[in-house]
Structure 1
Amino acid sequence: MTSPIAYLSNADRLDRLFIDGEWTLPEPLTRTAVVDPSTEESVAEIALGSSADVDTAVAAARRAFAGWAATSAESRATLLDRVHALILERAEWFAQAISLEMGAAIGYARSAQVPLAAEHIRVARDNLATYPFLSHRGTTAILREPIGVCGLITPWNWPLYQITAKVGAALAAGCTIVLKPSELSPLSALLFAEVVQDAGIPPGVFNLLNGDGPGVGAALSAHPDVDMISLTGSTRAGVLVSQAAAPTVKRVALELGGKSPNVILPDTDLSRAIAPGVAAAFRNLGQSCSAPTRMIVPSQHLQEVERLACAAVAEMVVGDPRSEQSTHGPVANRAQFERVREMIAVGIAEGARLVCGGTGRPQGLDRGFYVRPTVFSEVDSQMRIAQEEIFGPVLCVIPYDTIDEAVAIANDTIYGLGAHVQGGDLETARSVAAQIRSGQVHINYPAWDPNAPFGGYKRSGNGREYGIEGMEEYLETKAVIGFQSA
C-alpha cells in the first residue's frame, strides 16, 4: 500500500490549498515542515496559506452558500453518506497519516482516531434526516436556517476527529465552510479534502487552507464575510479568536481547555475503577482536552489507589507508534514535549509525591518526543499540576475526606469541560454528577456516545458540538409571526 506521504506528494497535494473545488497553488508559496514526533525528523513540507488566500476561499464559500443552503435535507444527507463511506474505505490511509503526523500508536489510530471521526459524519447524516427545520408555535412558524459561511479551526491532537465533528454538523445545517486545520498535523486534513471532493460536495461549499494562527486563523476570525467561527484549541487561542471576531459580531463557538476530575466515591470497587481511570486520563497520551487527569479519591484508600494506578501504568507500552506492540507513542510535537517534562518537574518541586514515571524519556528511547506516563499522589488542589492543563500523560491523585470536599475539589478549577464519577450506589453518583460544573459527566465509564452534546462551562468555552446540539450551533432561528391563520 502506498504511504500517505508518497500518495499526497505524487498527487501534488502538499503544495496546494483546496479552494472552490480546485487544488490551487498559493502565491507566494511558503512551506512549513511536517515533523514525525517519533524521530524528530521532517517527513514532508506543506504549503501555508495567507490572508489573501483567506479572502479567496471566503469569497468562494459566499458564492456557494445560497445554492447549498437551498438544497434539500435529503440531498445533503446523501452526500454526507458518501463522505462517511469514503472515510471508512480509506481508513488505513487516515490511520497511517495520523500516526505519522502526531504520533498516535497505529492501533489507537485504527481503533479510535479514525472510526470515531467517521461516526461524527454518520451522526450528522442521521440527525439531518429527521431534524425539524420548520416547526409551529400557535400561528407562528419557527424556522431554523443555516447561519452562513463558517470558519472552522481545528487542533493537532485529534486531527480528523475534530474536523469531522465540525464539518459534518456545518454541512448538515446547510452552511459553507473554510477549514483551517492545524499546520502541525495537516496530512489527514488533506486526505479529508479529497474525500469531500470525491464525494461530490459542490465547489465552494468546502474549502481547506493550511496555515498558522497568526496568518490564516486571525484573518479568518476577523473576516467580515465569515458569519461564524468554531475553534477547538487552547483557552489562549479562544481568547484571541474571540477578540478578532468581536468587531464583526459573528457567532463564536469555542471548545477549549480542561482539567477534568474523576471522583472515586467511597463505595467504589477500586479494582474495577482505577485502571480504567488511568487509561482514560492517558488515552491519546493525555492529549485530550477532556482527559480526567485529576483523580479525586478517599483518603483511606490512597495507598491502594496508588498501587493500582502504577500497575496500570506498568501495562502501557510507550514506543514506536507504527509498532503493533505499542499502546502509546510520543507526544505530538516539541513544544508539547517540553511542556510535559517541565510540568513533571514542577510537580516534583511543588512537593507532590511521584509514585511512578518522571521527567526523562522511557527506557530505551533516546530520541523522539517520548515521555514517561507519570502519576503524582498527595497532590494539593492549589498546586500548578492540579490547576494547569498539562496535555500529557500526567495524573494527579488528590485525596479527600468527605463527599462534599470531593465535589469542591472537582469544581476547584477555571475549567469545566468533562468529568467522571465512579460509585457503587447510582443515586449517590448521580447526585455528585449534578453538582459538578462541567459540560459532560460520565458515570462509571459508559460507552462513548456521539450524540451526547460536548462543550464547556467556564473557561472551557461556549457552545456545543456532537449530536443535535452540535448541528444547531450552525443554525439561526427565525420566527415568522402570522404564518398561519388564527
Structure 2
Amino acid sequence: MRNYLDFYIDGAWVPPAKPRTLEVINPATEGVVGQISMGGAADVDRAVQAARRAFDSFGRTSRAERLDLLDAVLAQLVARKDDLAAAITEEMGAPAGLAAAAHVPFGLGHFQLARQILADLQTDRTMGTTLITAEPIGVVGMITPWNWPLNQIACKVAPALAVGCTMVLKPSEVAPFSAQIFAEAIHTAGVPHGVFNLINGDGPSVGAAISTHPGVDMVSFTGSTRAGVQVACDAAPTVKRVHQELGGKSANIILPDADLADAVARGVEAMMVNSGQSCNAPSRMLVPISRMEEAKAIAAQTIAQQTVGSPQEAVALGPVVSQTQWDRIQALIAQGMAEGATLVAGGTGRPDGLDRGYYVKPTVFADVTNDMAIAREEIFGPVVVLIGYCNVDEAVAIANDSVYGLAAYVQSASLDQARAVASRLRAGQVLLNYAALDLNAPFGGFKQSGNGREWGELAFHEFMEVKAVLGYEAA
C-alpha cells in the first residue's frame, strides 16, 4: 500500500491544511492500493507563495546553473526509472513492458531534450537600438492527466525549469504515484526550495484554485476539452496565460495507393497502444469505400492478435484507467451498435476470461459515417472506426470535419502525395506513413484541441514572456 498523505511545498513534505483522503484504485484488480491527501485552496495558496518567493532568485539564475540542475534531476529520474515504471503500471494499468519501454523513456526524454535546447537557446536579439529579450514568465500552475502521467509532467516541468520558472503541479488524483516519485527525485536532485511544488487534489478544488490564483502567471493544462474550457474561464479574470493540450479525434487517411494490408493493420495496432488512451490516437481510419470489405477483414485479423490481460504479463492491452472510463467506453460502443455501424470485432463487456478489472474488448467498427457519435466523440479507449471515402477531396473533408485538430495521419506509397494531403489537414501534428514520434516536434492542436505547443524548443517559448528594451544600443 502506498500512502502519500503529504504535499511537497517549499522544499519539504507537509500535511494538508485540512485532512481529506482519497483511495487510489488499481484498475487491473479494482482493489485499493494506496491513499493520497486531497488539497484545497489553502494548500494551493501556500504553494504559490513559496513559488513566488523562489522566483525572485531562480528567475535570475544563469544558464549554467540551470543546465547543472537539469542534469541533476535527470540523474535522479534515471535512478528511479524502475520505480516509476512500476508505479505507472499500478496506478493506470499500462502493461509493464509499455511502461518501461515508452512511458518512462518519454519522460526522461523531455529532460534530455530540454538540456540540449537550453545549451543553445537564444533569448536575446537586437533590432536597431532595441533589445528584444525573452524572460521566464513567472509562476506556472500545471494540471496534468492520468493517461501518460510521467510524460505529461516532464514535458511541462523540463522546459519551465530550463527557462527559470517556478511551478505548482497538480497531477491527476487518479494516477498520483508516479508524480510522488517525480517529486522525490526533484527533492533529491537539490532543486531550490519553492521552485517545484506538488499538491494532490481534484479539479474543482485544487485545479480551480490554481487557475484562479492571482499569484499564478500561467496555467498549463492537459486534459479534456470540457475541463480545458473551465480552466480558461477560471483564469480569465486574472488575465493569465492559458496553455492547453486537449482532446482529439485524429483521422488516419489511407490513400488509394497505400499498401492496404500494412496500413490498416498498423493503424489498428497504433490505436490499441495504451488501451487507446492517447489524445493523438488514430481513432478515425479513412479507407477507400471500394475496399471497405478488405479493410474489415484485415482489421478483424489484426484485432484477433491483440492480447488483453494483466499488465504484469506480456500483453498488448491492459485495463483502462477507471470505472468511470470503462462505463463511458461501454456506452459509446453500445451507441455505435445502435446507430447502425458494423461491429467488426470486440463489442461491449469484458474480454473472455477477465471478470475483474476495467478491461475493454479491442473494438473495430466499419461502415461508419462521420455524423455518428463514435466518429465525433473522443472515446479514449481501444476503439477504432472505419469510414469510407470516394476520393481524396472527400477524405480531406471528412478528416477536417471535427471540432478537434490535435493530430492526423496519412499513408501513401508516394511521399509527395502524402505531403500534399498533409498540407490540407487542420491538425497540429501530421504523421506520414506512421512516422515515429519526435519529442522535438511541437505537440498541440488546432480548434478545440487547445492553444499553444508542448515538446521541443517551441515549448520553451510558451513559458517565457517577451520584453523590449528601447534605447539599449547607442543610436
TM-score category by the smaller chain? over 0.9
Match of 1:117 in 2: 107
| 3-state SS in 1 of match to 2:344 | strand
Q: CA deviation at 1:270?
A: 1.7
Match of 1:358 in 2: 347
1:246 to 236, 253, 266: 236
Match of 2:326 in 1: 337
| 3-state SS in 1 of match to 2:404 | coil
1:423 aligns with 2:412: yes
Match of 2:60 in 1: 70
Decide which moves more: 91-100 or 73-82.
73-82
| 3-state SS in 2 of match to 1:305 | helix
Please tell me the residue identity of whatever aligns with 1:87.
L
1:457 to 443, 446, 459: 446
**CA RMSD of the aligned region, Å?**
0.9
Match of 2:176 in 1: 186
Please tell me the residue identity of whatever aligns with 2:435.
P
What is the rounded CA distance, in whole Å, between the counterparts of 2:22 and 2:15 in structure 1?
15
Please tell me the residue identity of whatever aligns with 1:476.
E
1:21 aligns with 2:3: no
1:441 aligns with 2:424: no
Which digits, 9 at most, give the CA deviation of each residue in 1:165-211, with x for residues without a partner?
00011111110000000000000000000010111110000000001
| 3-state SS in 2 of match to 1:419 | strand
Which digits, 9 at most, give the CA deviation of each residue in 1:422-459, with x for residues without a partner?
00111111111010001000000112100000111000
1:403 to 380, 392, 397: 392
What is the rounded CA distance, in whole Å, between the counterparts of 2:85 and 2:298 in structure 1?
31
Q: Is the 8 A contact 2:163 2:460 kept in 1?
A: yes
Q: CA deviation at 1:92?
A: 1.0
Q: CA deviation at 1:41?
A: 1.2
Please tell me the residue identity of whatever aligns with 1:312.
T
| 3-state SS in 2 of match to 1:109 | helix
Please tell me the residue identity of whatever aligns with 1:441.
V
Decide which moves more: 374-383 or 20-29.
20-29
Once superposed, which parts of structure 1, at least 4 consecutive aligned residues long, lie more than 6 Å away? none
Which digits, 9 at most, give the CA deviation of each residue in 1:137-162, with x for residues without a partner?
22211100000000000001111110
Q: Is the 8 A contact 1:88 1:115 kept in 2?
A: no
Q: CA deviation at 1:85?
A: 2.0
Q: Is the 8 A contact 1:356 1:375 kept in 2?
A: yes
1:315 to 305, 313, 322: 305
1:154 aligns with 2:163: no
Q: Is the 8 A contact 1:60 1:204 kept in 2?
A: yes
Which digits, 9 at most, give the CA deviation of each residue in 1:40-92, with x for residues without a partner?
11111111111100010000000000111111112111111221222222111
What is the rounded CA distance, in whole Å, between the counterparts of 1:356 and 1:408 in structure 2?
27
Match of 1:269 in 2: 259
Q: CA deviation at 1:29?
A: 1.2
Unaligned residue ranges in structure 1 (runs of 5+): none
Q: Is the 8 A contact 2:245 2:452 kept in 1?
A: yes
Please tell me the residue identity of whatever aligns with 1:356.
A
| 3-state SS in 2 of match to 1:86 | helix
Please tell me the residue identity of whatever aligns with 2:194.
G
Q: CA deviation at 1:272?
A: 2.3
What is the rounded CA distance, in whole Å, between the counterparts of 2:338 and 2:299 in structure 1?
22
| 3-state SS in 1 of match to 2:291 | helix
Decide which moves more: 311-320 or 242-251.
311-320
Q: Is the 8 A contact 2:273 2:316 kept in 1?
A: no
Decide which moves more: 306-315 or 429-438.
306-315
Please tell me the residue identity of whatever aligns with 1:248.
T
Q: CA deviation at 1:271?
A: 2.6
What is the rounded CA distance, in whole Å, between the counterparts of 1:110 and 1:315 in structure 2?
22
Q: CA deviation at 1:226?
A: 0.3
Q: CA deviation at 1:358?
A: 0.5
| 3-state SS in 1 of match to 2:126 | strand
What is the rounded CA distance, in whole Å, between the counterparts of 1:225 and 1:107 in structure 2?
41
Please tell me the residue identity of whatever aligns with 1:400.
Y
1:368 aligns with 2:346: no
Match of 2:474 in 1: 485
Q: Tell me the TM-score normalized by structure 1.
A: 0.97
Which digits, 9 at most, give the CA deviation of each residue in 1:17-40, with x for residues without a partner?
000000001132110010000111
What is the rounded CA distance, in whole Å, between the counterparts of 2:473 and 2:12 in structure 1?
45
Please tell me the residue identity of whatever aligns with 1:187.
F
| 3-state SS in 1 of match to 2:244 | strand
What is the rounded CA distance, in whole Å, between the counterparts of 1:303 and 1:74 in structure 2?
60
| 3-state SS in 2 of match to 1:330 | coil
What is the rounded CA distance, in whole Å, between the counterparts of 2:356 and 2:198 in structure 1?
33
| 3-state SS in 2 of match to 1:424 | coil
| 3-state SS in 1 of match to 2:429 | coil
What is the rounded CA distance, in whole Å, between the counterparts of 1:335 and 1:404 in structure 2?
38
What is the rounded CA distance, in whole Å, between the counterparts of 1:137 and 1:88 in structure 2?
42
| 3-state SS in 1 of match to 2:423 | helix
What is the rounded CA distance, in whole Å, between the counterparts of 2:199 and 2:287 in structure 1?
45
What is the rounded CA distance, in whole Å, between the counterparts of 2:269 and 2:217 in structure 1?
39
Please tell me the residue identity of whatever aligns with 1:205.
V
Q: Is the 8 A contact 1:357 1:372 kept in 2?
A: yes
Please tell me the residue identity of whatever aligns with 1:435.
R
Q: CA deviation at 1:371?
A: 0.5
Q: CA deviation at 1:110?
A: 0.6
Please tell me the residue identity of whatever aligns with 2:100.
R
Q: Is the 8 A contact 2:249 2:281 kept in 1?
A: yes
Aligned-pair identity in percent equals: 55
Please tell me the residue identity of whatever aligns with 1:19.
I
Give the 5 Å matches for 1:80-99.
Answer: 80-99=70-89
What is the rounded CA distance, in whole Å, between the counterparts of 1:158 and 1:24 in structure 2?
27
Q: CA deviation at 1:247?
A: 0.3
Unaligned residue ranges in structure 2 (runs of 5+): none
Number of positions where the alignment pairs a residue of Structure 1 with one of Structure 2? 475
| 3-state SS in 2 of match to 1:267 | coil
